Structure 1
């Protein structure tokens, strides 16, 4: 069920990777090389995806090539939110993909997050779903709409600066096709028409109570491809593997792109999940262990027969 593994989320976005500790992305490049090798060793059939970039930046891709990171992945990914956070119009989506293809002609370009929120008006999101589908279906091999559910306000968005981002922060809570109270928005009907061709990106928080509801909705909609994540930081919580097992078992009927990210606070210089880790191999080991557990090489092997995750010692 695991089609692909993504190495971090938006590593060129300061909200998800702290540039104060890694201004040239050299640590991230090393992390990609090690994690890519670990994923390949665990199962060479799992597609390795460079952490989806946001902003879409060909100069950053060239930097990753210089660090040797592109040699450790099979796909380069982009994220775009032209009606919410980006400074380019939605109609430029093909141009943005072309910019990355120009510097990376040897790898497929996936759109692993694209979204339009209902922060200003739900009609804007309706247009966004329709126009995104027109522009990207048939243009990118994989497309993941962000997201299925609105983020509940009381949970808080997983960004580094939070309310200091101003109105940009509050847009995080309106990106779903379904409101936080469980009622569908008008845009859900438009997504349903293209669900077979445009997957969903949905983060599940630790012990997320929405998991079963999400699975039910995705099956009803006809969604085939899902991008989600497993948090390295969460792996140090009590009963972490119980939750990981439950999440992955629930998602067994979908082709999953699994994102590995988030540094445990005690394992990075910034004491924050966006901090580069002190030891990039520890992150790579986590990636390899998760692939061994949920996408083992042996055909038909049960996930529970794989070695248990042993968190790194402090």
Structure 2
């Protein structure tokens, strides 16, 4: 059976020509706030896809590894419980992404001119909910917080009074949420690196080292297994890309507080992430198909 961990990504990401962000407000300040609100929703949705793809990958290579570990009840229980805990945690993270998406949607409505009491109450409530984040299992359960005092960066002259007040109040809460997203991706990178290490060791032993030292003619599959071992875990590349997008999003948030810059430049980043997610899922499907054929 071909392990899911042998998935390869294309060297060049698929070209995706789509404008993800549009500015359509009457003033530069409100346009910037609208852009970051719309971009924030797309950014959070993309993180959800990245984490889902990473989980599918983890489940795949764990399922492939299990038959090659000591066939004991303890082994099965340990690996099953680890993955169950992972599924629960990622479900909590996805829920927090939903809170972030709802906040950005409410902020977008506010920036477009919906200053009704219901909208303002919703923005305030969602900002409070941003502070409740799941722990980070592989990083000791603790989360970092962004530097405080971002409210002082809000350029009131570039925003309507209502939007400026909201940005001042929520500046730190949103910054912390965006930093949390970065930490989630870092936790994912550490988790997958550690989890795949054992799988890669077993693959190397069974598919590279053993056939090589036996002295028989090496099949094409041996070359592929050796190359895969040298290249390393491909899913980490996707998570690293998403981490870079998170860093860019944190910069965009600070810029919107200042009433500066444009989030339009993140459109290409999101498009590349979308292409990588699609490549990951295609690779998983291909590996599973190959495994089915070889059984």
Give the TM-score normalised by the residue count of structure 2.
Answer: 0.27
**Rg larger for:** 2
Give the TM-score normalised by the residue count of structure 1.
Answer: 0.26
| Greater RCO (Cα-Cα under 8 Å, separation 6 or more) | 2
Higher relative helix content: 2
Higher relative strand content: 1
